[in-house]
Amino acid sequence: MDGFAVWITGLPGSGKSTIARELLRLLQEAGVEAELLQMDERRKTYFPKPAYTAQEREEAYRLFAEEAAGLASGGANVVMDGAAPRRDMRDRARRRIPKFIEAQAVCSLDTAIDRESNRPEGLVMAGLYRKALERRRTGRSFEGLGEVPGVDTPYEENPDAEVRIDTETQSPEQAARSILEALRRFL
């Protein structure tokens, strides 16, 4: 029997990772096992020395969707955490995974910039938006900084997404509960 996949998507700084962790907690409380796939972590597996080019991003999201589809077809439940700024990136997973939910974490670019500015260096470059905006303004290059959704490339919302989360008004727990409610049809 196929497992489900939930892709939590949105701008960097929209709250995807926080919601994903909360959803995993709620699933565990409900006795449902699920695996977390984080694009920021998986990209470094797919490309040990990521260049963050547009072509690499396309391939990384293809591999991400394929990995989730493989896990789900093997019976695993998967929570996917990745911006996937283009709808076709997410639709690729939707076509391959029968039990699929897209959950969009939505906030203003200003809110995403503010949240991201407080993020420490880790899986994602610290100061991502500040650097992208400076690059746009001055032409300055930053090593390892690719196109940043919301600044260099648009984020394509999906009006047909199963769950839409306003992360400016909903808490991570409220967001995770709304995803869990959408998942009930697969549980």
Q: 100-111 burial, b if ≥16 CB within 10 A, otherwise e?
A: bbbbbbbbeeeb
pLDDT of residue 124: 67
Q: Is residue 109 within 8 Å of 154, Cβ to Cβ?
A: no
Q: Which domains does the chain have, with CATH numbers?
A: 5-109+155-186 (3.40.50.300)
H helices, E strands: number in the chain? 7, 5
pLDDT of residue 131: 87
pLDDT of residue 49: 87
Task: Specify the pTM.
Answer: 0.92
Query: In terms of Cα–Cα distance, which of 165, 36, 43, 38 is closest to 102?
Result: 165
If the chain, 187 residues long, is cut into consecutive pieces of 10 residues, what is the mean pLDDT of each piece? 96 95 97 96 91 89 98 98 96 97 96 82 71 88 86 92 97 97 94
pLDDT of residue 127: 80
